[in-house]
């Protein structure tokens, strides 16, 4: 599969590249409003180009970020890291491949800043579209199980060489997908990083993490106005999606305007089945995995209190906190997120 956004063909790449060039040429005398499709294509083009460049730092790696212990760490609002000027010391990083798993409604596109910064640091990021997400063409309404939803990730892990491992990063409900992967492919995973994510325990549903904010699953299924009935009103709901204004307040309360605009034209509704499924997690597989949690302290979708409860009830090896981050630190605090990811990668 290589270092790229999954589901992107060569034809897609050329088409997006040419569209991007046309969009960039409006310049001096006339600035036209981009269509929603143009905005989306430009962001995908940027991310794709970052993947294809795959430039590595090979000069002197003089600054060491350092390893961390299981102590909790809080990053300040502004981290003095400029990835192009302060190269990380990668000598003690054995596993350099990151597999980035998006949350509900998102796609591989949301990681474009993280992909760029990790590649510039000499690491190997891969962002995947889960089934029915991003530019994956599967009908989201047909995705009914966590196994189906996570299939792009499990197929990727299955195809890794026997001696190769990766670092998984799961955002929001993507945490359930990396938990599922830890249970089924523990030998392929060096570390699992839960980014303001649903780090559930055995027998829990991803939805249970949000129960305090959304109410019981039964009530949500009966009363929520955010449900989508892809098979007709007489059939059970197949997905959910918040209204745009609610998404802005829940997910993007600290994110830049341009990233919010990108999200508004790129997000798709989420399949309901996977988040209502109870996970079976065993002590010898999932329990033996190396888990890390990144808390976001200005998060309105998954509150800091809920995140604190998750790490208290299911303690990971290390906990990190990002001040001033909303539910999408890859938009609101990309440098802080980058520093934490590199720091976790350096842990022996």
Rounded Cα distance, 107 and 111, in Å: 8
| pLDDT (0 to 100) of residue 71 | 46
| pLDDT (0 to 100) of residue 211 | 73
pTM for the full predicted model:
0.77
- Per the structure, the count of domains in the chain is 1
Does residue 88 sit within a domain? no
Rounded Cα distance, 195 and 174, in Å: 9
Does residue 212 sit within a domain? yes
Does residue 2 sit within a domain? no
| pLDDT (0 to 100) of residue 110 | 98
Please determine, for residue 310, whether its predicted confidence score (pLDDT) is greater than 50: yes
pLDDT tens-place string over residues 180-199? 999 999 999 999 999 999 99
The separation between CA 287 and the C-alpha centre of its own chain, rounded to angstroms, equals 22
Does residue 162 sit within a domain? yes
Residue 338 is a catalytic residue: no
pLDDT tens-place string over residues 61-106? 222 223 333 445 555 443 433 333 344 567 788 999 999 999 999 9
| pLDDT (0 to 100) of residue 217 | 56
| Rg (alpha carbons) of the chain, rounded to whole number | 20
Contact 309, 208 (CB under 8 A): no
Q: What is the mean pLDDT of residues 113-142?
A: 97
Of residues 21 and 144, more confidently modeled: 144
| pLDDT (0 to 100) of residue 277 | 96
**CATH number, domain containing residue 266:** 3.40.50.1820
Of residues 240 and 72, more confidently modeled: 240
Q: What is the mean pLDDT of residues 158-172?
A: 96
Of 13, 45, 172, 179, the catalytic one is 172
Residue 184 is a catalytic residue: no
Does residue 284 sit within a domain? yes
Rounded Cα distance, 197 and 168, in Å: 12
Of 299, 325, 336, 338, the catalytic one is 299
Average pLDDT, the chain: 81
Rounded Cα distance, 8 and 141, in Å: 22
| pLDDT (0 to 100) of residue 303 | 94
Does residue 275 sit within a domain? yes
Does residue 30 sit within a domain? no
* Phi, psi for 210 (deg, rounded to 5): -95, 5
Please determine, for residue 8, whether its predicted confidence score (pLDDT) is greater than 50: no
Of 51, 102, 171, 327, the catalytic one is 327
Does residue 125 sit within a domain? yes
Q: What is the mean pLDDT of residues 210-228?
A: 68
DSSP output for 190-201: EEEEEES---PP
Tokens of 304: 């800091």
Contact 166, 157 (CB under 8 A): yes
Q: Structural domain of residue 110, as residue ranges?
A: 96-346
Q: What is the mean pLDDT of residues 322-345?
A: 98
pLDDT tens-place string over residues 252-305? 999 999 999 999 999 999 999 999 999 999 999 999 999 999 999 999 999 999
Q: What is the mean pLDDT of residues 38-43?
A: 55
Residue 299 is a catalytic residue: yes
Tokens of 166: 């990766």
- Cα-based distances in Å from 191 to 8, 63, 64, 87, 287: 27, 23, 20, 22, 12
Rounded Cα distance, 333 and 308, in Å: 20
Please determine, for residue 122, whether its predicted confidence score (pLDDT) is greater than 90: yes
């Amino acid at each position: 599969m290589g270092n790229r956004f999954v589901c992107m063909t060569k034809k897609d790449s050329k088409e997006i590249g040419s569209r991007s060039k046309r969009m960039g040429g409006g310049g001096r005398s006339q600035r036209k409003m981009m269509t929603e499709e143009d905005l989306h294509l430009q962001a995908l083009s940027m991310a794709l180009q970052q993947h294809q460049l795959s430039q590595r730092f090979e000069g002197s790696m003089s600054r060491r970020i350092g390893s961390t212990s299981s102590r909790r760490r809080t990053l300040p609002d502004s981290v003095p890291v400029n990835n192009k000027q302060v190269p990380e010391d990668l000598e003690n990083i054995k596993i350099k491949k990151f597999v980035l798993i998006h949350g509900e409604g998102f796609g591989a596109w949301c990681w474009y800043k993280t992909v760029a910064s990790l590649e510039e640091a000499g690491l190997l990021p891969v962002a995947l579209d889960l089934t029915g997400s991003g530019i994956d063409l599967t009908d989201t309404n047909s995705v009914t199980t966590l196994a189906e939803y996570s299939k792009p990730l499990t197929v990727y892990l299955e195809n890794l060489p026997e001696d190769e491992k990766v670092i998984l990063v799961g955002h929001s409900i993507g945490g359930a997908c990396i938990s599922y992967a830890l249970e089924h492919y523990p030998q392929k995973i060096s570390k699992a990083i839960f980014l303001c994510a649903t780090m559930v325990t055995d027998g829990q549903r991803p939805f249970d993490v949000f129960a305090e904010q959304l109410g019981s699953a039964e009530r949500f299924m009966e009363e929520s106005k955010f449900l989508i009935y892809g098979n007709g009103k007489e059939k059970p709901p197949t997905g959910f999606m918040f209204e745009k204004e609610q998404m802005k307040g829940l997910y993007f309360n600290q994110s830049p305007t341009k990233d919010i605009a990108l999200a508004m034209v790129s997000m798709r509704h989420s399949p309901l089945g996977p988040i209502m499924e109870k996970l079976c997690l065993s002590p010898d597989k999932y329990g033996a995995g190396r888990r890390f949690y990144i808390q976001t302290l200005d998060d309105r979708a998954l509150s800091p209190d809920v995140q604190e409860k998750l790490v208290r009830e299911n303690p990971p090896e290390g906990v990190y906190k990002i001040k001033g981050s909303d539910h999408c630190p890859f938009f609101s605090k990309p440098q802080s997120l980058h520093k934490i990811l590199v720091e976790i990668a350096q842990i022996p």
